[in-house]
């Protein structure tokens, strides 16, 4: 314990354990070391630290990047203190040059921003991969009919491609929002010191260009004590998982034995330890649960930040882990769900059975009656509802419609609804083309952040 000894003496084991962030600093140790390296380089450039001492420190930081586990045997308040203890042990008084123009407050903010930025970039790339999988499955299922549900009741006939493209559009929206979160996050707080800046004449722009592509969180109070980047990221990531949990739920429902539209690949299933007949859709269940867990992490960070006074408070230390874990879980979730989508099999027999069983064309027919006869839609709806009630099955229903109105609609033609965004093959093809273009443009936009991947972490 380096920092408190002079003023307060050693901390009790309980206090140290309770207030130390060492355990979860493992998640950002490498970024903390990189930040420290950039800062020492700046001090060297400014010639406020002897070149030789700066080089020795940089050399040792390199060793630590290769093996950060060395730090975690040290009893310390946090990884920042552990690094100083380690450097002092290795380099003696030269280690003491660390500290000028720096606070743990701006350094932890920098490391966290860097970690969150890298994970956001990874997440955005996973979304791109996910969208490509969706588009490739969609292009092979333009004519694969499936029922769509509202209120969990059979509603209208659609196609599998149309279903996949709904997920694609949703992910396109999340991409636009998340890239904004990345833009907000990847800004350097270095040089902001504890709250109001430092006396050392650091060139904040030059520092920012080392790790943050030159972008800056400007105001020093905001840069050192703000966690808006975490809040915004978590709000979006938890919303993303909430949306994806609905897809997981679709997969669970569509693979119910009673429904049977989808057959999940074996890798997504588990057996029961007692019921020999069971195959459980375990990955989809965990996707559903992760959405809840990640939402909890958002609430956790928002509750930690809520009401603390402006500027750094140690409360913020507890907000580091949830944002990192949420992003890691989101990345895994996307890969699991992407794989399910890539490999899910459709059971045509089960789908056809339901298309015959449920009057999925009823709304289309009611509309066609109104359009054809010029009757108010309400009347057409009423007439058709009566027929639905009277008919023993859909075959009889469609026969009676043919006789009464000379309307002969089949499921394949019904999906050709003329409105934009409908499952009509024309629409689906044009959506797919636009989407592919959108993905390519988005990838070009992401390449702006490729500096984040040039890391030894
Ligand atoms: N361990 C702290 C964190 O993760 C680092 C900053 C501590 N600052 C301080 N003045 N005690 O947030």
pLDDT digits (tens, 9 = 90+) for 315-361: 999 999 999 999 999 999 999 999 999 999 999 999 999 999 999 99
Give the CATH number for residue 149: 1.20.200.10
Residue 263 lies in a domain: yes
Question: Which residues of 259-418 form beta strands (DSSP E)?
Answer: 262-263, 270-271, 279-280, 345-346
- pLDDT above 90 (res 1): no
Q: Within a 10 A sphere around the Cβ of 239, how many other Cβ atoms?
A: 18
Quick one: pLDDT at residue 403? 97
Quick one: pLDDT at residue 380? 97
Assess whether 138 and 83 both reside in one domain. Answer: no
Beta bridge partners of 146: 158
Could you tell me the pTM of the whole model?
0.97
What average pLDDT does the structure give for the chain? 97
Quick one: pLDDT at residue 2? 79
Q: How confident is the model at residue 78 (pLDDT cuts 50, 70, 90)?
A: very high
Residue 413 lies in a domain: no
Mutate to test the pocket of ligand 1, among 24, 78, 226, 313 (most ligand atoms within 8 A of CB): 78
Quick one: pLDDT at residue 10? 87
- The β-bridge relationship of strands 153-159 and 345-346 is unpaired
State in Å, rounded, how far the first CA of the chain is from the last one.
26
Assess whether 158 and 187 both reside in one domain. Answer: yes
The better pLDDT of the pair 457, 345 is held by 345
pLDDT digits (tens, 9 = 90+) for 18-44: 999 999 999 999 999 999 999 999 999
- pLDDT above 90 (res 6): no
Note down the domain range covering 393.
362-408
Tell how far the Cα of 108 is from the centroid of ligand 1, in angstroms: 7
- State if residue 20 touches ligand 1 by the CB under 6 angstroms criterion: no
Residue 160 lies in a domain: yes
- State if residue 108 touches ligand 1 by the CB under 6 angstroms criterion: yes
Which atom of ligand 1 lies nearest, measured to the CA of 77? 1
Assess whether 79 and 199 both reside in one domain. Answer: no
Residue 25 lies in a domain: yes
Quick one: pLDDT at residue 271? 93
Q: What percent of the chain has pLDDT over 70?
A: 100
Quick one: pLDDT at residue 11? 87
Assess whether 94 and 232 both reside in one domain. Answer: no
Average pLDDT over residues 55-67: 98
Assess whether 316 and 213 both reside in one domain. Answer: yes
Question: Which residues of 266-319 form beta strands (DSSP E)?
Answer: 270-271, 279-280
- State if residue 81 touches ligand 1 by the CB under 6 angstroms criterion: no
Domains held by the chain: number:
3
Quickly count helices (H) and strands (E) in the chain: 19, 6
Assess whether 267 and 399 both reside in one domain. Answer: no
Backbone angles phi, psi at 148, to 5 degrees: -105, 155
Assess whether 33 and 135 both reside in one domain. Answer: no
pLDDT digits (tens, 9 = 90+) for 126-149: 999 999 999 999 999 999 999 999
Assess whether 85 and 178 both reside in one domain. Answer: no
- State if residue 105 touches ligand 1 by the CB under 6 angstroms criterion: yes
Residue 415 lies in a domain: no
**Domain end marker among 100, 130, 160:** 100
Beta bridge partners of 158: 146
**Domain end marker among 100, 131, 146:** 100
Assess whether 147 and 227 both reside in one domain. Answer: yes
User: SS3 letters for 408-449?
Assistant: CCCHHHHCCCCCCCCCCHHHHHHHHHHHHHHHHHHHHHHHHH
Tell how far the Cα of 103 is from the centroid of ligand 1, in angstroms: 9
Assess whether 31 and 174 both reside in one domain. Answer: no
Nearest CA to ligand 1 atom 3: 317
Residue 357 lies in a domain: no
Assess whether 22 and 140 both reside in one domain. Answer: no
Tell how far the Cα of 78 is from the centroid of ligand 1, in angstroms: 7
Quick one: pLDDT at residue 387? 97
**Domain end marker among 100, 128, 150:** 100
Assess whether 308 and 403 both reside in one domain. Answer: no
Nearest CA to ligand 1 atom 11: 314
Residue 255 lies in a domain: yes
Tell how far the Cα of 104 is from the centroid of ligand 1, in angstroms: 6
- State if residue 21 touches ligand 1 by the CB under 6 angstroms criterion: yes
Residue 166 lies in a domain: yes
Tell how far the Cα of 34 is from the centroid of ligand 1, in angstroms: 17
């Amino acid at each position: 314990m380096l920092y408190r000894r002079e003023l307060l003496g050693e901390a009790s084991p309980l206090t140290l354990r309770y207030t130390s962030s060492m355990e979860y600093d493992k998640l950002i140790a490498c970024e903390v070391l990189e930040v420290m390296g950039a800062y020492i380089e700046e001090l060297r450039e400014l010639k406020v630290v002897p070149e030789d001492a700066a080089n020795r420190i940089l050399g040792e930081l390199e060793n630590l990047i290769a093996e950060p586990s060395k730090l975690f045997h040290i009893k310390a308040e946090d990884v920042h203190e552990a690094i100083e203890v380690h450097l002092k042990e290795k380099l003696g008084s030269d280690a003491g040059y660390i500290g000028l123009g720096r606070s743990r407050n701006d350094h932890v903010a920098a490391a966290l921003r860097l970690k969150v930025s890298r994970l956001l970039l990874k997440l955005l790339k996973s979304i791109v991969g996910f969208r490509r999988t969706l588009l490739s499955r969609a292009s092979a299922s333009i004519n694969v009919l499936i029922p769509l549900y509202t209120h969990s009741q059979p509603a209208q006939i659609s196609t599998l491609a149309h279903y996949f493209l709904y997920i694609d559009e949703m992910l396109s929206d999340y991409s636009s929002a998340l890239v904004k979160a990345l833009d907000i996050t990847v800004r350097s707080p270095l040089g902001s010191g504890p709250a109001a800046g430092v006396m050392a004449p650091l060139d904040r722009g030059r520092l920012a260009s080392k790790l943050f592509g030159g972008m800056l969180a400007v105001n020093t109070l905001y840069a050192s004590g703000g966690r808006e980047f975490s809040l915004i990221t978590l709000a979006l990531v938890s919303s993303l998982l909430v949306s994806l949990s609905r897809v997981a739920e679709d997969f669970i429902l569509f693979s119910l034995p009673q429904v049977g539209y989808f057959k999940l690949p074996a890798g997504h299933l588990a057996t029961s330890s007692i019921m020999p007949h069971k195959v459980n859709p375990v990955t989809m269940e965990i996707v559903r649960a992760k959405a809840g867990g990640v939402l909890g992490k958002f609430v956790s960070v928002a509750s930690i930040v809520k009401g603390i006074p402006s500027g750094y408070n140690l409360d913020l230390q507890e907000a580091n882990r949830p944002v990192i874990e949420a992003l890691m879980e989101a990345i895994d979730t996307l890969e699991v769900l992407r794989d399910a989508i890539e490999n899910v099999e459709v059971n045509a027999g089960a789908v056809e059975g339901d298309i015959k069983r449920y009057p999925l064309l009823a709304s289309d027919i009611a509309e066609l009656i109104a359009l054809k006869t010029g009757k108010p839609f309400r009347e057409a709806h009423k007439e058709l509802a009566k027929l639905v009630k009277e008919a023993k099955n859909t075959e009889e229903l469609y026969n009676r419609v043919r006789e009464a109105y000379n309307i002969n609609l089949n499921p394949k033609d019904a999906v050709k609804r003329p409105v934009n965004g409908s499952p009509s093959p024309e629409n689906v093809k044009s959506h797919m083309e636009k989407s592919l273009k959108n993905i390519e443009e988005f990838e070009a936009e992401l390449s702006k952040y490729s500096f984040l991947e040039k890391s030894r972490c």
